[in-house]
Homo-oligomer: A and B are copies of this chain.
Amino acid sequence: MSLDPVLDHIDANIDPATERLLDLLRIPSISTDPAYKGDCDRAADWLVADLQSIGFEATKHPTTGHPMVVAQSGGDGPHILFYGHYDVQPVDPLHLWDRDPFDPAVEQTDKGPVIRGRGASDDKGQLMTFIEACRAWKAVHGTLPGNITIFFEGEEESGSPSLIPFLKDNADLLRADIALICDTGMYGDATPAIITQLRGLLGEEVTITGPSKDLHSGMYGGIAMNPARVLAKVIAALHDETGRITVPGFYDGVPELSNELAAAWDDLNFDAEAFLGEVGLKYPAGEQGRRPLEMIWSRPTCEVNGMTAGYTGDGFKTVLPAQASAKISFRLVGQQDPEAIRVAFRKQVSDMIPADCGVTFHAHGASAAGQMTTTHPAFDQARRALSDEWPNAAAYVGCGGSIPIAAYFKTYLDMDAMLIGFGKDDDQIHSPNEKYDLSSFHKGTRSWARILHAMTR
């Protein structure tokens, strides 16, 4: 089946395709907040209906959390599994949004038109690039290339509690020759990327308790232990003055960059100042003596994602807080063992708790780092197809984010995964005013049409 009429069809139908994406973006499917459970369910229903409309046999699978969506095209040729997630991040701080995060629209900017709204880039806009590519193939040729299974989850932004059980229970349904994952970005505006390494993620919530209730700081200040002070000491002790993380054994299994990879990354001429300049920063603030690309791709991190204690409203309240808590996450690389680090972290914190204070820990998921094997022929086929669509040749790169699904496919379905996405560094995912360039959506759809052609001809 020929490719060109499919690309022409995509170009001619970008407007209705964009309307469909806006429709999906209007559903506030925030998976981490129980208040939006019904909306996550609605997003799954929307996808099932849309996939059925282009000939897929699509089903919503309930879980103990949010539902999974699985759709099958049937047909001959290579069996391809495509993965994406329909859930989105919370939207706070809401006052920093220039529009209602769930009233999306195409906005004109000096960099061109963008689709603005929560989930536009992460990950609804990206998963729709693949659906629209399939829609075009179906419209032009009446059938899809190869045998395609589509798999969407609704818990990616909240630790994917149902994912592994679902993969185990539905291995036969989901196993394919190769998995395509669309939840990552371009290396640059003109350079598409195939991710070959991912950082893992370990999430911990720490709550330090002290007095049985908030106290008057005049009556008790000076004699009662203050949990907020204890939490500050705990967090301040997590890094040394060189930026290294102090948790014992934390660096076990962290590999040094190979000479080949070091050379390849140096060839990318990464402009750290421009990268940081996008978000109002200038100086790489990670471990001393590391390449900026190492800091974001191949070195582990420890970050405070949230922190709260006492009175945080308007004005002032002279209270001595009963408790203080923080959400802390670690990005992991190489062979770092998430559970071993969780244990060491909890011991380090527990050892710092003074008399009259207590500490509780709440686990928020754990995933090891991932390393892709690029020997599968699909990698080369996709690399050439992407290079045909974009100004520059596709690059094999690392990713600082954590997409555990890639490792899970290998572990539970013995299937290699190829991570290709069209997001931009300035998409503001997980932040206010998230957007997806209309060109990312358009050329991303064209890219998948090309990749499907390359993999199945």
Residues of A at the B interface (CB closer than 8 Å) are: 32-34, 89-90, 92-93, 96, 157-159, 199, 201, 203, 205, 210-226, 228-229, 231-239, 272, 275-276, 279-287, 292, 295-296, 299-301, 303-321, 324, 326-327, 329, 331, 354-356, 364-365, 399-402, 425, 428-433
Contact = CB atoms under 8 A, between A and B. Distances in A.
Contact of A224 (B199, B281, B311, B331): B281
Contacts of A295: 222-223
Given A307-B307, A428-B213, A431-B215, A225 B312 contact: no
Contacts of A280: 211-213
7 contacts: A159-B316, A219-B429, A226-B303, A229-B236, A232-B232, A305-B317, A312-B327
Nearest to A325: B312
Contacts of A220: 279, 296, 400
A278 B219 CA distance: 12
A40 B367 CA distance: 53
Contact of A229 (B199, B205, B239, B306): B239
A425 B219 contact: yes
B279 A224 contact: yes
A283 B93 CA distance: 39
B317 A90 contact: yes
A241 B387 CA distance: 60
Most B CB atoms within 10 A — which of A217, A286, A356, A365?
A217
A400 B212 contact: no
Contacts of A199: 218
A22 to B, nearest CB: 23
B229 A232 contact: no
B281 A310 contact: no
A243 to B, nearest CB: 9
A292 to B, nearest CB: 6
A237 B229 CA distance: 10
B430 A222 contact: no
A299 B222 contact: yes
A14 to B, nearest CB: 27
B316 A309 contact: no
A217 B90 contact: no
A215 B304 contact: no
A331 B285 contact: no
B229 A304 contact: yes
Given A219-B400, A292-B223, A311-B92, A316 B329 contact: yes
B319 A430 contact: yes
A282 B355 contact: yes
Nearest to A234: B232
B400 A222 contact: yes
A43 B194 CA distance: 66
Given A96-B213, A222-B296, A223-B284, A314 B232 contact: no
Contacts of A239: 229
A226 B400 contact: no
A222 B354 contact: no
A311 B305 contact: yes
B232 A296 contact: no
B432 A316 contact: no
Contact of A307 (B203, B310, B327): B310
Contacts of A157: 317
B235 A228 contact: yes
Most B CB atoms within 10 A — which of A212, A234, A285, A287?
A285
B305 A306 contact: no
Given A306-B309, A310-B304, A211 B279 contact: yes
